Amino acid sequence: MEQRPRTSAMRTGRLARTAVPARLAGAAALRWLGTFRYRGARREEKRKEAVLRTAEDVTRAMGEMKGAAMKVGQVLSMLSGVVPPEMAEGLASLQSNAPPMAYGLVEEALEAAYGQPASRVFRRFEREPFAAASIGQVHRAELRDGANVAVKVQYPGVREAIERDLANVAIVLGLGGLVAKGLDIETLVRDLGEGIRGELDYRREAAWQQRFFDAFEGHGFVRVPRVYHELTTDTVLVQEWLPGRPFREAVKLPQAERNRLGEMLYRFCFGSIYRHGLFNGDPHPGNYLLLEDGTVGFVDYGCVAEFDEAVIEGFKRLIRALDRGDREGWRAATEAIGILLPNAPFTTDELYEHMHWYWAPILEDEVEFTPELAAEMVRRNTMTTGLGGQINRHCNVPEGMVFLTRINFGLAGLFASLRARGPWRAIVREYVDGTPPSTELGRLSAATTREGAPI
């Protein structure tokens, strides 16, 4: 097996973090200029090669830089249709195959967290991480009582690197030909900044995970790993080990199984909002596990939001209006919740034509998520030119809603990779109108929740 490269301590200085984007920009510019030596179809072929080479460079750089650069890369990998397929495939590797840090640094981080060597805390600690992500990597370990655990260790220096990255990552993504026209990269980076900073506190993450564990303990298809709070610190999180396969393997499954998995994710993500007021806002394959008993393990809670009852009621009013085709009621609901600014100078039909894509999956009885649908959902909501751009300037992302946008876009890309088809409209009616479970999974969920209502 080929050895993955190892990283030393994360470079956090401004010059070190800025040199990479500058180097990439220079290389991309030279490649693009080189294409002008050719004409016609040959020039187009060379331009595609230039984009692919640049995409490879960006993917590699984001993995090595970690921090915010890698996190944005993870998000872009899910926005099916926004980046070239070659780049999306490469960025997808950032979900679970980032270059790990050297084990000596892991030992230093653990000793700094516990005030003693890791060998005194764990009976066994595997040197090789089984996952390396944007702000930390995860090792399998065994506690003194024999329990198998997953230990997430934060990269030394990542807090400082985050701030450098948020300033630099827009440069990387602005390289010619890498992203679809109309995608507002700066807005994406700014919105992600707040969530990324929150993910740096592992005690906070552990508290959110406990909320989800309590809500879903014993559920029919949702597994949330137990947290070991006594061993969790600001920079180390210890949780129950869930043996399973990476979720990215789901794309190889038969369509019926992909549809079933899509529904499990849909119910977990949106059912959590309506049933518990909680929202896990980081939907990417690295956070899900395919467990042997057919359930799904949800293992990351670094990006969570909580909505109060008034906000949830606002969601319900908006969806009811959409469901009955009441466009004026829909417009009023979008204004009431703060998504659309009052008195926008557009007709309701103009607004609906542009904005309804955000809710497209629940406007018909059964919808298949395709790459084209996912791309259109993102494109409409990030346009900066034309009528769509004018409308977007009268739209708003209310406090806390950045997570909702993130999960809608993220799930759309994830479902598109599965080509998941399902009765999303009927599922949402269960939450909004209290209708009986509309699917087999809905009935299983209702039978295994304390409330007796399906997620």
Structure tokens at 224: 């949330």
What is the pLDDT of the chain when averaged over all its residues?
81
Contacts of 352 (CB under 8 A, 6+ apart): 327, 330, 331
Q: What is the mean pLDDT of residues 266-281?
A: 91
Among 132-136, 244-248, 250-254, 390-394, whose mean pLDDT is lowest? Answer: 132-136
Contacts of 287 (CB under 8 A, 6+ apart): 247, 298, 299, 300
Q: Under DSSP, is residue 246 helix (H, G, I), strand (E, B) or coil?
A: strand
Query: How far is Cα 249 from Cα 73, in angstroms, rounded to an integer?
Result: 20
- Record the pTM: 0.76
State the number of CA atoms in the 13 A half-sphere of 216 facing the CB.
29
Which neighbouring-strand residues pair with 280?
304
Helix count (H) and strand count (E) of the chain? 17, 13
Which pLDDT belongs to residue 408? 75
Q: Under DSSP, is residue 143 helix (H, G, I), strand (E, B) or coil?
A: strand
Burial class (CB in 10 A: 0-12, 13-18, 19+), 434: exposed
Which pLDDT belongs to residue 167? 62
Q: DSSP secondary-structure letter at 144?
A: T
Give residue 360's pLDDT band: very low, low, confident or very high (50, 70, 90): very high
What percent of the chain clears pLDDT 90, i.e. is strictly above it? 46
312-341 pLDDT, tens per residue?
999 999 999 999 999 999 999 999 988 888
CA angle 158, 161, 164 (to 5 degrees): 160
Q: What is the mean pLDDT of residues 7-29?
A: 52
Give residue 395's pLDDT band: very low, low, confident or very high (50, 70, 90): confident
pLDDT at 81 over 50: no
CA angle 221, 227, 228 (to 5 degrees): 150
Query: How far is Cα 113 from Cα 96, in angstroms, rounded to an integer?
Result: 24
Q: How many angstroms separate the first and last alpha carbons of the chain?
A: 42
Contacts of 219 (CB under 8 A, 6+ apart): 445, 448, 449, 455
243 dihedral zone (left: phi>0; alpha: psi -120 to 50; beta): beta
String of DSSP letters for 68-106? HHHHHHHHHHHSTTTS-HHHHHHHHGGGT-PPPBPHHHH
Residue ranges in 240-385 assigned as alpha helix (H): 255-276, 309-323, 327-337, 348-355, 371-382
Q: What is the mean pLDDT of residues 265-281?
A: 91
Structure tokens at 47: 């331009």
CB 239 within 8 A of CB 299: yes
What percent of the chain clears pLDDT 70, i.e. is strictly above it? 70
pLDDT at 82 over 90: no
Residue with token string 């080189």: 34
Angstrom distances, CA of residue 58 to CA of 52, 53, 153, 193: 10, 9, 25, 19
Strands 367-368 and 278-280: unpaired
128-182 pLDDT, tens per residue?
998 876 678 899 999 999 999 999 998 887 777 676 666 666 665 555 455 544 4
Among 88-102, 144-158, 187-201, whose mean pLDDT is lowest? Answer: 88-102
Which pLDDT belongs to residue 136? 82
203-234 pLDDT, tens per residue?
999 999 999 999 999 999 999 999 999 999 99
CB 338 within 8 A of CB 45: no
Structure tokens at 193: 């900044």
Q: What is the mean pLDDT of residues 257-262?
A: 95
Give residue 89's pLDDT band: very low, low, confident or very high (50, 70, 90): low
Structure tokens at 151: 């230990």
pLDDT at 123 over 90: yes
CB 381 within 8 A of CB 357: yes
Which pLDDT belongs to residue 419? 94
How many beta carbons lie within 10 A of that of residue 396, not counting itself? 15
